[in-house]
Amino acid sequence: MDYVYIKKDGYSFSLKKSLECGQFFHFEELSEGEYVIVIKDTLVHAREYDDRIIFYGMDEEVFEERLAQFFDLNRDYDHICKCIVSADPRLEEAVVSERGLRIFSQDFFECLISFIISANNQIPRIKRAVFDISRTYGREIGNIAGRTYYAFPSPCELARADEETLRNLKVGFRASYIMDAVSNVLEGRISYGELLGDEEACLLKLKSIKGVGNKVAACVMLFSLGYYNAFPVDTWIKKIMQKMYMPDEEDVKKMEEFGRNLFGEYGGFAQQYLFVSARKKPIKE
């Protein structure tokens, strides 16, 4: 049995835009519009068309139970987009261009490790590292098109790793950061529940992990902890902020604060539209 998700207006949810915007790395494209996505221990095989998305081997109950929240399908993105454009009308073209992009609600531990790997890295290499770590330490969860897929390892499973093996999986200098993150989680210094609710305390806790600075912490807060006002500033966003708002500024903390103040509770959504659109086409000054 397959589940067919109907796009209400053709733009309500774009799997392609949401997967390929740099927020999530545990997926691959088998052919044009056909994806395999690993969401914790759920293996998803989907094909996207202009007006619908087919989720193979999945019924509506499983889709609603496991995927609707992950894909953030119950949030009113039309309202969010209107608020962003109201804050800065120059973003209207970017918002229209990227309609259908949704921010995923990711597993905290996988998101943390993924963005530690992302530091000074490129998306194809990040994806490869995530797949290799999963294959080496995670559990096999299924086969699609002759390929075997693995869940991302839990903290206990990843604790079997050592720095040398991780380096061999092409994470480089980040190996020691990953090991520090694992020990922090296993020993209770970093707890998912304690990261919720108090934004400042959450930021400080995350930054206590080796290799986690403001940008990585903001990404983890946005993509896995529900802090949708977070405004991660990487090299792309820095260039955009300098071009559009702060031409002589070099302090990324001030840029982050500016973005959060300008877009308020929707800072993270605005950041995604800025990031993706600017990589494709320069935004007007």
Q: What is the pLDDT of residues 118-170, one digit of tens each?
A: 999 999 999 999 999 999 999 999 999 999 999 999 999 999 999 999 999 99
Mean pLDDT for the chain overall? 94
- In contact, 221 and 260? CB cutoff 8 Å: no
Q: What is the pLDDT of residues 219-259, one digit of tens each?
A: 999 999 999 999 999 988 999 999 999 999 999 999 999 99
Q: Which domains does the chain carry?
A: 1-74 (3.30.310.260)
Burial class (CB in 10 A: 0-12, 13-18, 19+), 196: middle
- 37 C-beta neighbours (distance < 10 Å), count: 21
pTM of the shown model = 0.95
Q: DSSP for 133-170? A: HHHHHS-EEEEETTEEEEPPPPHHHHTT--HHHHHHTT
Residue of 21, 52, 55, 51 lying closest to 35 (CA atoms): 55
- In contact, 18 and 7? CB cutoff 8 Å: no
pLDDT band at 173 (very low <50, low <70, confident <90, very high): very high
